[in-house]
Amino acid sequence: MARIKVLFVCLGNICRSPAAEAIFLKLISKRGLQDEFIVDSAGTGSWHVGKKADQRMRIAAKHRGINIESIARQINKKDFEEFDFIITMDNSNFNNVSSLRNRESSKGNSKIIKMQSFTSRFKFHKEVPDPYFGGEDGFDNVLDILEDSVEGFLKSIHSV
């Protein structure tokens, strides 16, 4: 059976997308589905390539039992061929990812989707806000939104 490949994307791959990746990994592990998926995250920019996720996000996630272990990388042409779903955190990420695929004339069939398409409790948020320049509570807010939306995404692609 082919594994479902999911890539979460934000701007720098140090806050939102690694958190979404870690939440998804925890969720599928809890449900015994880890062998059915390949999960990763990336950023549209290259500023943080090779770095761990933002310490503030790692701490906030750890308080919820979520372990963020990914190392930042930038999305590339190959991702459009490798991943079934590319989930973006905001409109800018969505537009940048869509433009990259068009510019690279990628043959990939990946579906580019906004994370907030799957929310059930945070419908007033049209995007997952970037907590990088805000206060500590912004990281908890983002985790609340991501936990809801990631669960909605999993339900939309897998009968759980």
Task: Clarify whether 130 is annotated catalytic.
Answer: yes
Task: Clarify whether 10 is annotated catalytic.
Answer: yes
Of residues 15, 16, 54, 56, which has the active-site annotation?
Answer: 16
Extract the tokens encoding 55: 């310490």
CA neighbours within 13 Å on the CB side: how many for 21? Answer: 28
- 79-98 tens-digit pLDDT: 999 999 999 999 999 999 99
What is the value of pTM for the model shown?
A: 0.96
Average pLDDT of every residue of the chain: 94
- pLDDT confidence tier of residue 160, bands split at 50, 70 and 90: low
Task: Clarify whether 15 is annotated catalytic.
Answer: no
Of residues 40, 79, 90, 130, which has the active-site annotation?
Answer: 130
Q: How far apart are CA 34 and CA 43, in angstroms?
A: 23
Walk me through the domains of the chain, giving residue ranges and CATH numbers.
Answer: 4-157 (3.40.50.2300)
Place of tokens 């890539």: 7
- 37-88 tens-digit pLDDT: 999 999 999 999 999 999 999 999 999 999 999 999 999 999 999 999 999 9
- 130-147 tens-digit pLDDT: 999 888 889 999 999 999
Of residues 10, 40, 54, 90, which has the active-site annotation?
Answer: 10
Asked if residues 80 and 50 have their Cβ atoms less than 8 Å apart, the reply is no
